[in-house]
Structure 1
């Protein structure tokens, strides 16, 4: 199993939203979904641009990567820049502007690990947001971007980080608030003129020891004024609910790849009204025989 400094960063960074203009609205229209997507694309665009400016070919070679690795990341960076231009053109004057960001990588290896995380979240974000899009042309365009994000995630996981390029037969669709909770720690400030988005960040969720399938782990914290009674593990299209007993939870057997966990007061559903904290990202990397990789 692999729990990197990247996944720990999602736990340790504060998820309080820096976006003062954010407010909740009942209706989510196509423009809102596109601006939400653009918010994520701005983040990814900045992530790759800044990292490639920081780490040259020599840094990648020193980190043990083959020569072509940085060049492929440069291609991904170009894709993300194109996504930003595409969505900005579609939204026109109402397009959200880029924010200021902070990313917890210190070398090409931690950058590659974080890239795998961000591309996975991006894939889950597009998958989950598809149901909100009514315009078929927009839906087709979003599906095209989704496919490219999934290819990015697969290449980074397998060719660069040497893990499986998938988590199973299905990917996890995430809701708007769940995605924003994962993205918010990287956003330090945003223009006050940006259009409001109907999202909020949930409190962070953490475990005191590394979760391992089939073993018990301790839930470190959930808001005291709204105690959680279950941890829900998102794996593919399934959500597995496990009760919290004396602050501990038994991690289900068989979890593989990227899994998202939330603390919830319900043992049957995860909604904006039942989620107490999270999601946090758990990585259960396995070899081709299904064995967990330490």
Structure 2
């Protein structure tokens, strides 16, 4: 089950996303970035709801209104696609061919939580790249809805916490696309290249069989080309907490992490994770907490 510890492998996808050379990021790039994510979410909800009807959700133990709310979220994502497509006109990115690994209404709900969390973090991470304040306002309007989606799925559907803390975590466009790209099989050749880099896939697993990933526990990290003296950066809200990666590829999850946390391997602790110091893509980890947990 994904509910207690959700790890999304990061797939290198230069053929789908990566720009051939670094270039200044424009507002058009950011809108194409956003539309690529919205196409993915739109396909996820439309496909999942077509596969699982109301009876399937009820047999899975969900209240009747749960699927109805997912239908509303699907309408939101379709509206985001229409809005961004209109804004971009001839420059609009086209939808790709997707493959989502849900096999039940439960796994559909759990993956929904992950995608909404990535969407929220991606919009936050791209905000500083936007120059037009009108575009920034439009993006913020979508961002807040993505955050509400994630909170509702977490609390009302999965019965976990409704928020992470006082702040959400921003992640880089490259990190966000690495997370999203695992669900993309192919894209139209006419789609514009996006100014992101690809990174080796990162997988986290508990070092103790049967244990969940939680603060204070040892985890094993698996990714290509692991160098010496690397560290793990854990993004929790606006904080970045580091842990050392030993020679066997293990690290200890820092104390104090709760809710949705993003992890990546970096070459240096001197600056927040960026394309310049990241050695892997991001992994997303869900660390549930109850109402008795200190949330500071």
**Per the shorter chain, which TM-score range?**
over 0.9
Question: Over the residues paired in the alignment, what is the CA RMSD in angstroms?
Answer: 1.9
Note the alpha carbon deviations across 1:144-201, whole angstroms, 9 max, x for none: 1111111111111111111111111100001110101100100110000011111122
How far did 1:17 drift?
A: 4.0
How far did 1:205 drift?
A: 1.4
Name the structure 2 match of 1:281.
Answer: 284
Residue 168 of structure 2 corresponds to residue 171 of structure 1? yes
Note the alpha carbon deviations across 1:93-137, whole angstroms, 9 max, x for none: 010100000001001100000000000000001111111111111
Aligned counterpart for 2:181 among listed residues 168, 180, 184: 184
1:1-294 aligned within 5 A:
3-4=2-3, 7-8=6-7, 10-11=8-9, 14-19=11-16, 22-209=19-206, 210-224=212-226, 226-227=227-228, 229-247=230-248, 248-269=250-271, 270-290=273-293
How far did 1:228 drift?
A: 5.6
Q: Distance in 2 between matches of 1:98 and 1:68?
A: 29
Which runs of 5 or more residues in structure 1 are unaligned? none
How far did 1:21 drift?
A: 7.1
Note the alpha carbon deviations across 1:27-65, whole angstroms, 9 max, x for none: 001000001000000000000000000000000000000
Tell which deviates more after alignment, 210-219 or 274-283: 210-219
How far did 1:206 drift?
A: 1.8
SS at match of 1:262: strand
Tell which deviates more after alignment, 44-53 or 237-246: 237-246
How far did 1:18 drift?
A: 4.4
Q: TM-score, normalised by structure 2?
A: 0.92
Kindly indicate whether the alpha-carbon contact (under 8 Å) linking 1:3 and 1:282 is maintained by their aligned counterparts in 2: no
SS at match of 1:278: coil
Kindly indicate whether the alpha-carbon contact (under 8 Å) linking 1:63 and 1:109 is maintained by their aligned counterparts in 2: yes
Q: How many residues align?
A: 287
Runs of 4+ in 1 over 4 A off after TM superposition: 2-6
Q: TM-score, normalised by structure 1?
A: 0.92
Q: Distance in 1 between matches of 2:4 and 2:292?
A: 26
Q: Distance in 1 between matches of 2:22 and 2:82?
A: 26
